[in-house]
């Protein structure tokens, strides 16, 4: 806990952000960290609540509640309040390998479950976490710590996203020799090419991967393990293999006119823009440049919002975002009580910027498309949209979205970005290793909560096993897979 009466004395105060007018002019991070005294005041708001739901990873009402990593949040908030940042950082690092990532991109499940949120406002855990992470780097507390003794075991990790990095970090700490294979030109996976710079500057990712290299982790970029021969070679050379290759198969909206020019998957669009920013001398391909275009984004969630923010910064003439589901309520519904995740309307940074620039919320709810419209040359000119309505299935009790007859209408656009989620791991990965896939398209594992596949030497972690999820869940997955792989190799595991 922090100060016994802190939650009564201090109001929740979040870090300031640059105004929309300023931040849409660049692709840099735009949150302005509070000073040390403010962080101590915010940490003081953590109270002795008896049952700290913030740090427990449980499922309530079918949804996750609390921190998936089990971060010891009341403990490090107490240390921050008392001015012992070094000990606070040590507590944080016990459960979180990469607080500099989660404190920037996590939706803060812990804050949603904070007891203060029951009748007031939660503690600023995410911002307190970022303060600790940056304190550690600034004061030399996050320097290289290579293991003193090596086990003689070799482990290959396929994919360098948050799950792969977490698994590699844990196993390297244990003394195993870890090699991470990444098909892109830079390590980081979705941290590097899937999350825009304004949410996670790429220097933050590079800082971490360079630290891991200094600790003994080897990164082999530009290397794709997607053929049976390559997989067989890895299985012969390494004592264990961890698949952390993500859910890289995007869900398509394959309606008539899909072949038209100007239709892209969101992940390709975001990757192209990030690559251009990393290599300023390179030219951004015109098909991925939204400047002067009317952009339509199909799908909500973080990826859809990131597309909104990116298109705004590129100079889009107009941005529209289609959401299939009904607009959530502004406040919790009676059937969505604390400490469940609040299913309420969230207007994220990209939507805020679109409202500022275009004068209205870019989202259109309960809508999907029936066709892409083109001109005589096959160039995209718009889409045929249709309204949807929720209908309850009498057998299952669940709701499904059905089209409203006669509600079709046209939306004019020059670019469509499909942000409809992902369907699981790419088939070529599982086929190369001879591993079965689940009904959801993910890598099949022996037990529902486990990470070992039908091949005892092969483990799976992150989105390729769990399905599309959050960075914090990917780190959790990587840690769990590392623990199982370590126990497989050594007969037991001291990893948490």
Is 368 strand, coil or helix?
A: strand
Sign of CA dihedral 196, 201, 203, 207: negative
Q: What mean pLDDT do residues 336-347 have?
A: 92
**Secondary structure class of 458 (helix, strand, coil):** strand
pLDDT reported for residue 396: 85
Q: What is the pLDDT of residue 225?
A: 95
Instruction: Give Cα separations from 196 to 188, 218, 267, 425, 464 (angstroms).
Output: 13, 26, 10, 22, 21
Which 3-state string (H, E, C) describes 105-120? HCCCHHHHCCCHHHHC
Q: Does the structure show a pLDDT above 90 at 397? A: no
Query: How far apart are the C-alpha atoms of 354 and 305, rounded to whole Å?
Result: 10
Sign of CA dihedral 448, 465, 103, 172: positive
Model confidence, pTM: 0.96
Ordered domains of the chain (ranges, CATH): 6-138 (1.10.1060.10), 154-248+423-490 (3.50.50.60), 263-418 (3.50.50.60)
**Span 83-105, average pLDDT:** 98
Per-residue pLDDT at 344: 95
> What is the predicted pLDDT for the residue at 310?
98
Which DSSP state fits 261? B
As a whole number of angstroms, the distance between CA 71 and CA 420 comes to: 31
Q: How confident is the model at residue 282 (pLDDT cuts 50, 70, 90)?
A: confident
Mapped onto helix, strand or coil, the DSSP state of residue 461 is coil
**Span 262-289, mean pLDDT?**
94
Confidence of residue 278 (pLDDT cuts 50, 70, 90): very high
Give pLDDT, residue 283.
87
Residues facing 242 on adjacent strands: 157, 459
- b/e per residue 51-68 (b: at least 16 CB within 10 A): ebbbbebeebeeebbbbb
Per-residue pLDDT, 388: 98
Q: What is the mean pLDDT of residues 409-413?
A: 98
pLDDT tens digits, one per residue of 126-143: 999 999 999 999 999 999
Strands 240-243 and 399-403 turn out to be: unpaired
Q: Which residues contact 148 (CB under 8 A, 6 or more apart)?
A: none
Using the predicted structure, report yes or no on whether residue 1 has a pLDDT greater than 80: no
Question: What's the CA angle centered on 233, arms 227 and 234, to 5 degrees?
Answer: 95
In DSSP terms, 379 is beta-bridged to: 261
pLDDT band (50, 70, 90) for residue 236? very high
Lookup: tokens for 33: 């960290």
Distance between CA atoms of residues 160 and 175, nearest Å: 19
Average pLDDT over the chain, rounded to whole? 96
Q: What is the pLDDT of residue 253?
A: 97
Q: Which residue has the tokens 């794709």?
A: 224
Residue 118 CB neighbours (<10 A): 13
| pLDDT value, residue 20 | 98
How far, in Å, CA of 258 to CA of 261, rounded?
A: 8
How far is the CA of 370 from the CAs of 286, 382, 441, in angstroms?
26, 11, 25
pLDDT (0 to 100) of residue 162 = 98
**pLDDT (tens digit per residue) in 345-363:** 999 999 999 999 999 999 9
Would the pLDDT of 304 be above 80? yes
Token pair for residue 238?
């390494």
Split at pLDDT 50, 70, 90, the class of 281 is confident
More confident residue, 178 or 280: 178
Percentage, residues of the chain above pLDDT 90: 90
Torsion angle of C-alpha atoms 460, 248, 96, 309, degrees rounded to 10: -170
Which tokens go with 370? 């029936």
Split at pLDDT 50, 70, 90, the class of 395 is confident
Question: Per the structure block, which two tokens stand in for 86?
Answer: 């070094």
Q: How many CB atoms lie within 10 A of CB 138?
A: 9
pLDDT at residue 84, as a whole number: 97
Q: At what angle do helices 125-138 and 73-81 cross, to 10 degrees?
A: 60
Taking 80 as the threshold, does the pLDDT of residue 453 lie above it?
yes
Interacting residues of 144 by C-beta distance below 8 A, sequence separation 6+:
211, 214, 215
pLDDT in tens, 312-330: 999 999 999 999 999 999 9
Q: Residues 452, 483: contact at Cβ < 8 Å?
A: no
Task: Convert the pLDDT of each residue in 168-226 to its tens digit.
Answer: 999 999 999 999 999 999 999 999 999 999 999 999 999 999 999 999 999 999 999 99
pLDDT average, residue stretch 88-98:
98
For 259-408, strand residue ranges (E) read 263-265, 294-298, 318-322, 363-364, 367-374, 380-392, 399-403
User: For 102-115, what is each residue's pLDDT tens digit?
Assistant: 999 999 999 999 99
Each residue's pLDDT tens digit, 38-70: 999 999 999 989 899 999 888 887 788 899 999
């Amino acid at each position: 806990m922090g100060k016994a009466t802190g939650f009564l004395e201090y109001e929740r105060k979040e870090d300031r952000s640059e105004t929309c007018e300023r931040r849409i002019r660049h692709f840099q991070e735009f949150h302005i960290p509070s000073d040390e005294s403010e962080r101590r005041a915010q940490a003081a708001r953590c109270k002795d609540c008896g049952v700290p739901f913030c740090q427990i990873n449980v499922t309530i009402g079918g949804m996750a509640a609390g921190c998936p990593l089990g971060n010891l949040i009341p403990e490090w908030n107490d240390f921050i309040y008392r001015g012992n940042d070094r000990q606070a950082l040590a507590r944080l690092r016990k459960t979180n390998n990469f607080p500099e990532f989660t404190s920037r991109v996590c939706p803060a499940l812990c804050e949603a479950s904070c007891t203060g949120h029951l009748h007031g406002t939660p503690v600023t855990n995410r911002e307190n976490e970022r303060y600790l992470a940056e304190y550690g780097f600034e004061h030399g507390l996050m320097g290289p710590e290579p293991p003193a003794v090596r086990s003689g075991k070799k482990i290959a990790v396929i994919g360098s996203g948050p799950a792969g990095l977490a698994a590699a970090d844990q196993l390297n700490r244990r003394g195993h020799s870890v090699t991470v294979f990444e098909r892109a030109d830079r390590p980081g996976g979705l941290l590097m090419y899937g999350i825009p710079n304004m949410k996670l500057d790429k220097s933050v990712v590079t800082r971490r991967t360079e630290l891991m290299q200094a600790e003994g982790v080897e990164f082999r970029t530009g290397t794709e393990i997607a053929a049976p021969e390559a997989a067989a070679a890895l299985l012969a050379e390494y004592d264990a293999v961890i698949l952390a290759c993500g859910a890289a198969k995007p869900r398509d909206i394959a309606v008539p006119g899909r072949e038209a020019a100007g239709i892209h998957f969101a992940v390709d669009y975001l990757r192209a823009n990030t690559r251009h920013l990393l290599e300023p001398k390179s030219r951004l391909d015109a098909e991925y440049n939204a400047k002067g275009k009317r952009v339509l984004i199909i799908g909500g969630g973080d990826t859809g919002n990131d597309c909104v923010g990116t298109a705004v910064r590129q100079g889009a003439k107009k941005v529209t975002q289609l959401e299939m589901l009904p607009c959530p309520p502004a406040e919790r519904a009676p059937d969505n009580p604390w400490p469940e995740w609040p299913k309420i309307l969230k207007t994220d940074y990209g939507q805020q910027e679109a409202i500022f620039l275009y004068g209205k919320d870019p989202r259109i709810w309960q809508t999907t498309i029936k066709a892409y419209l083109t001109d005589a040359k096959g160039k995209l000119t718009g889409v045929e949209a249709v309204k949807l309505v929720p209908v309850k299935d009498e057998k299952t009790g669940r709701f499904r979205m059905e089209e409203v007859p006669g509600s079709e209408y046209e939306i004019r656009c020059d670019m469509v970005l499909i942000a409809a989620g992902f369907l699981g791991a790419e088939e070529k990965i599982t086929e190369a290793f001879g591993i079965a896939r689940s009904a959801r398209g993910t890598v099949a594992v022996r037990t529902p909560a486990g990470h070992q596949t039908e091949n005892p030497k092969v483990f799976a972690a992150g989105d390729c096993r769990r399905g599309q999820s959050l960075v914090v869940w990917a780190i959790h997955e990587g840690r769990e897979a590392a623990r199982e792989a370590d126990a497989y190799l050594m007969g037991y595991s001291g990893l948490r």
